[in-house]
Amino acid sequence: MKKLGLKSKLILALISFVVIILTVFGGYVKSVVQTPFSSSTGKEFEVKKGDTLYNVIDRLSLQGAVRNKLILKAYIKHAGFKVNIRPGLYMVYSGLSTTQFLYNLNNGIYDKNIIKVTIPEGYDLNQIAALLDEKGVIKKDEFLKSCLEYKLPSFIKDDGKRKFKLEGFLFPDTYQFKKGMKGNEVIDLMTTRFSQVIKDIQTKSGKQIEAGNIDNIVTMASIIEREAEQDDERKIISSVFYNRLNIKMKLQSCATVLYALGYHKDKLSIKDTEVKSIYNTYYVNGLPEGPICSPGRKSIEAALMPAETKYIYFVSENNGTHFFTDDYKKFEQEKKVTQGF
């Protein structure tokens, strides 16, 4: 085998060096685009009347708040963002994305008013209201009152029997709210996000949700959200509940019992499962009266696209997973092992 000469070795070394530099630089550019600001404690700045976006970026760069203004400007220009910044006081910080930065400037979301709140998947409306109160966005009672008075979008069923008509449709996500926002403004943001997610699910899955069926999908998704712990089990749990519906069997979801009771219990009693409530699926046939929490995207997808199984029963293994079967005797045996009864 012919040995490489010095010149060839140098060329190969140079090529390797260039590849490494391009890889590192590419990663750096991506990092700057995603989080362009360097101020970990936050940097307040003012947008004055007549300012352009690039003027603002230049001033922030002079203050040491921008990691690389050339890359940031190039990305904004290349991406073709529509920019119509509003005068006012704002804040940038190290975790702020380029998209959120531009959104804030375009919508007048000022630093002293911004409250970042993450609504966890599976929270019910009462829990959401309590969290918004805790974070200083809006008082719990005021928000609940807004939920009762809110003019419902066409895709939400106007069902007077429900505890909250908006239950299930306030999408769980991370939001940047304004301190002191009105309840209807918070609801607008969360229901709009819900609509966006539903539209995206339909586009990517190729499955359309009929307007009259979205309520049932969200109701099923809310039960899946409260029953599942592992993402890879959501569609299997979904199949169990649909299989029960198909054979006219009650859903018998403990999650619906807890919602009917209105408080949490680690272990339900037989008496608990007998509570007479339109939400208790040990008591009513079919789906409960409405959703029992705000389901996340994966649970909505599971409700729309369940796995194909023959499973009728499942029981927790006490480790985040479940045992599934279509054999009642096996179900009872497993329940004795894992649940002690």
DSSP 263-296: S--SS--HHHHT---TT-TTTSSSS-SS-SS---
Are the CB atoms for 312 and 240 separated by under 8 Å? yes
Are the CB atoms for 150 and 184 separated by under 8 Å? yes
* Confidence (pLDDT) at 256: 97
Please give the Cα distance from 184 to 151 (Å, whole number).
Answer: 9
Regarding predicted confidence, which is higher, 39 or 314? 314
Is 107's pLDDT higher than 80? yes
Domains along the sequence of the chain with CATH: 32-109 (3.30.1490), 114-204 (no CATH), 210-339 (no CATH)
pLDDT in tens, 149-205: 999 998 899 999 999 999 999 999 988 787 888 999 999 999 999 999 999 999 999
H helix or E strand, kind and range, residue 312: none
Cα 53 to Cα 50, 69, 101, 103, 176, distances in angstroms:
10, 12, 11, 12, 21
pTM over cut 0.75: no
Lowest mean pLDDT among 202-211, 254-263, 272-281: 202-211
Please give the Cα distance from 195 to 157 (Å, whole number).
Answer: 14
* CA R_g for the chain: 26
pLDDT in tens, 204-253: 999 988 888 999 999 999 999 999 999 999 999 999 999 999 999 999 99
Please give the Cα distance from 99 to 320 (Å, whole number).
Answer: 36
Q: Which residues contact 299 (CB under 8 A, 6 or more apart)?
A: 121, 221, 222, 224, 225, 228, 234
Tokens of 20: 């490494």
